[in-house]
Amino acid sequence: MALVEIENLSVEFPTQGGIMRAVDGVSLTLEEGEVLGVVGESGSGKSVTMLALMGLIPFPGRVRADKLAFNGRDLLTISDKDRRKLTGKDVAMIFQEPTTSLNPSFTIGFQLTETLRLHEGMDRKAAERRAVELLGQVGIPSPESRLSAYPHQLSGGMNQRVMIAMAIACNPKLLIADEPTTALDVTIQAQILDLLISLQKERNMGLVMITHNMGVVADTAQRVMVMYAGQIMEERSAADLFASPQHPYTAALLAALPERSEGGRLATIPGVVPGLYDRPKGCLFSPRCAYATEHSRSVRPDLRAWAGGHIRCHYPLGDPNRNAEIQHDHPVGTEAAS
Amino acid sequence: MLRFILTRVSLIIPTFLGITLLAFFLIRLVPGDPIETLAGERGIDPARLEELRKVYGFDQPILVQYGIYLSRVLQGDLGKSMITQEPVLSEFAALFPATIELATCAIIFALLLGLPAGIIAAIKRNSIFDHGVMGISLAGYSMPIFWWGLILILLFSVQFDLTPVSGRLDVLYYIEPITGFLLIDTLLSDEPEAFWSAVEHLILPTIVLGTVPLAVIARMTRSAMLEVLGEDYIRTAKAKGLSRFRIVALHALRNALIPVVTVIGLQIGVLFTGAILTETIFSWPGVGKWLIDAIFRRDYPVLQGGALLLGVVVMSVNLLVDLAYGLINPRIRHTR
């Protein structure tokens, strides 16, 4: 049994201009102890997918799915009370902005022991001892004295360590890290990533690393899911994906990495992510795709099994018949036309 | 912290001077001579008038009068009432507990209703309850106090005969003043049923005086709460699996209270202004009614002294509120 099973998940937000579909038909399974990287541009639905799993979609957002299960428990029909027993204990999440994610009016100690007392039923003394232990584990110097500190007295990196300590307090089976290093200094970023990976190995917990940094994913994840405009574009093992990307979007993302550039100008992806009103009829990436055809602009591809993973593309890069198919379907993209 | 208190206390000096200036000159702009008012409709012999003017020092140039007044105030002498010939300070001290009792009840009333109403309105945003609370509080805020007081008296005292029309206590009882607060003194006395009489007399004035602060607190709590509920740390609290009640009542409220406490501090000044009207409507023997009477009688020393003393009280309460602010907002506590 997989730790996380998501089938055809959609999250919609009604807005004044109509319904905004933030997540569109996402399916995903995650095994125990697996590290999954979720990448995509801002607004690609990567955070919202995980918030839906956590049950944290704010009102008036709507979550729909054929299946949404954690550790065998159906999250679509679970009661609020049972859900609260799960969140913070078996599934925990850390967020992008550590400083605003901690409550400014309470001490680190209070916020850390609160979780322990709630889920583990510890008394104050025991919870404080455990809190000191946890703060030590996440690499906070002189943890005893930090219990009485307020978030504004610590640096962003320290606060993120506190958030991590809070998240792993009850030995979760799954930790979701939502851009855990984006708001931090580059030197601190590496430390926090190392910490997350070592904790993951130590405890064999599932880890979902949401990021828009391909480098982070390459270093940490076993499997990578690339999202675009609320849909999964490609989902494969990290090694395969980086060695031979199958989706033109993935390939374009990788080409835009400074590490991979071969001198000269950095490659970019022209255009912007489709908004609420200009969602294309066909493939969502087709307006920006160099290999778009009239067919791909009018017919939306399904997510299908491909090269040891899944892909949502009519013309995967590794397909030997690709050029013939593109020519047959009337190419309109810049590359395909030439 | 000490530095903060010293800065704040030193700010009291110019405010204090400003109040003496305003109180002294404004009342003198009002037509009507205090001694002629004192004499009443019979009039007064011009020679006697001159003599009395000399006694009170009204024959001196006005700036000299102000100088004399200020130097006396600095020596702690606020003068005597021209009507009763009692020292202003002792009259104030005798009447002030009645005002404090009323103001305290009003602010407690405003908090007990305003905080929960604001919180629930924020949680149930755009519900009927939210719109109802906001509509009613806007009406309460806009309503003239004297009109509201009279309507309540007409309805509850005259029409339904539920509450007394005026005063602090039924005439059947005599309570020896110990603290000056009737709610306490009646309990200490050997007539405990007088306590209920005191409560009955407090109900309408409390509602009237508490209405504006109630409206302000409810609206402020709602908007502060709405802002806080959208913060990242509320999402963190949810991600911890905390109950909805704990998230709202602890994690959100603690932060939402910060601006609310500021507003409560500002409302203290408004409260004393309101007390003047409320006490007049309900013949409440407090400082407010005393000041109104002093205006009608052109009792200069009472007006000047009363305004000054109330000013000191408002400034002190505001200082206390600022200090309390540090208690609920750790970010301020540590930076000052």
Domain count of the fold of chain B: 1
Residue B250 has what DSSP assignment? I
The pTM (predicted TM-score) of the whole model is 0.82
β-bridge partners, A77: none
Q: What is the pLDDT of residues A239-266, one digit of tens each?
A: 999 999 999 999 988 888 887 777 778 8
Any domain includes B154? yes
A117 and A123 in contact (C-beta within 8 Å)?
Answer: yes
> What is the token pair recorded at B152?
């309540």
On the question of a cis peptide bond just before residue A60, with omega within 30 degrees of 0, the verdict is yes
Domain count of the fold of chain A: 2
| Rounded Cα–Cα distance for residues A121 and A166 (Å) | 15
pLDDT at A52 over 90: yes
pLDDT at B301 over 50: yes
> Lowest-confidence range among A226-235, B69-78, B117-126?
B69-78
- The residues, ordered by sequence, that sit 6+ positions from A303 with a Cβ below 8 Å of its Cβ are A25, A27, A231, A232, A310, A311, A312
pLDDT at B40 over 80: no
Shared domain for A197 and A306, answered yes or no, is no
Does B233 sit within 8 Å of A104, measured CB to CB?
yes
Any domain includes A237? no
| Rounded Cα–Cα distance for residues B222 and B215 (Å) | 11
For B180, phi then psi, to 5°, come to 90, -20
> What is the token pair recorded at B291?
């000041």
Query: For the purposes of burial, counting CB atoms within 10 Å of the CB of A277, is it exposed (0-12), middle (13-18) or buried (19 or more)?
Result: exposed
Domain extent for B202? 96-281+308-335
CA A98, chain centre distance (Å): 17
Nearest Cα of chain B lies from the Cα of A71 at a distance, in angstroms, of 17
Strand order in the sheet with A206-211: A91-94, A174-178, A206-211, A35-39, A223-228, A231-237, A309-311, A304-306
Any domain includes B315? yes
Q: What is the pLDDT of residues B190-249, one digit of tens each?
A: 777 888 888 888 889 999 999 999 999 999 999 999 999 999 999 999 999 999 999 999
pLDDT at B336: 41
Within 13 Å, how many C-alpha atoms sit on residue B144's CB side? 5
Residue B258: which CATH number?
1.10.3720.10
Q: Inform me whether the C-beta atom of residue B126 falls under 8 Å from chain A C-beta atoms.
A: no
B108 pLDDT band (50/70/90 cuts)?
Answer: very high
Residue A130: which CATH number?
3.40.50.300
B117 pLDDT band (50/70/90 cuts)?
Answer: very high
Shared domain for A281 and A136, answered yes or no, is no
Any domain includes B141? yes
Domain extent for A306? 254-337
Shared domain for A11 and A101, answered yes or no, is yes
Any domain includes B123? yes
| Rounded Cα–Cα distance for residues A271 and A289 (Å) | 9
pLDDT at B107: 92
- The residues, ordered by sequence, that sit 6+ positions from B101 with a Cβ below 8 Å of its Cβ are B180, B181, B182, B183, B202
ipTM score for this prediction:
0.88
- The residues, ordered by sequence, that sit 6+ positions from B65 with a Cβ below 8 Å of its Cβ are B24, B57, B58
Q: Give chain B's mean pLDDT.
A: 86
Which chain B residues are within 8 Å of A86, Cβ to Cβ?
A: 241
Q: What is the pLDDT of residues A3-14, one digit of tens each?
A: 999 999 999 998
| Rounded Cα–Cα distance for residues B269 and B212 (Å) | 12
pLDDT at A338: 46
DSSP codes joined into one string, B73-127: HHTT---B-TTT--BHHHHHHHHHHHHHHHHHHHHHHHHHHHHHHHHHHHHTTTS
Does A105 sit within 8 Å of B254, measured CB to CB?
yes
Cα dist. A174→A36, A54, A129 in Å? 11, 11, 24
Q: Inform me whether the C-beta atom of residue B245 falls under 8 Å from chain A C-beta atoms.
A: no
Does B243 sit within 8 Å of A104, measured CB to CB?
no
- The residues, ordered by sequence, that sit 6+ positions from A137 with a Cβ below 8 Å of its Cβ are A165, A168, A199
Nearest Cα of chain B lies from the Cα of A276 at a distance, in angstroms, of 23
Q: What is the pLDDT of residues A271-295, one digit of tens each?
A: 888 877 778 888 999 988 889 899 9
Shared domain for A115 and A34, answered yes or no, is yes
pLDDT at A224: 94
- Which of B241, B251, B334 has its CB closest to that of A85? B241
- The residues, ordered by sequence, that sit 6+ positions from A337 with a Cβ below 8 Å of its Cβ are A331
Does B331 sit within 8 Å of A152, measured CB to CB?
yes
Shared domain for A132 and A273, answered yes or no, is no
Shared domain for A288 and A183, answered yes or no, is no
Instruction: Collect all residues from A whose CB is shorter than 8 A from any CB in B.
Output: 54, 56, 83-89, 92-93, 95, 97, 100-106, 114-115, 118-119, 150, 152-153, 163, 166
Shared domain for A102 and A142, answered yes or no, is yes
Which chain A residues are within 8 Å of B330, Cβ to Cβ?
A: 104-105, 150, 152
Q: How many helices (H) and strands (E) does chain A have?
A: 14, 13
- Which of B235, B239, B330 has its CB closest to that of A150? B330
* CB atoms inside a 10 Å sphere around CB A298: 13
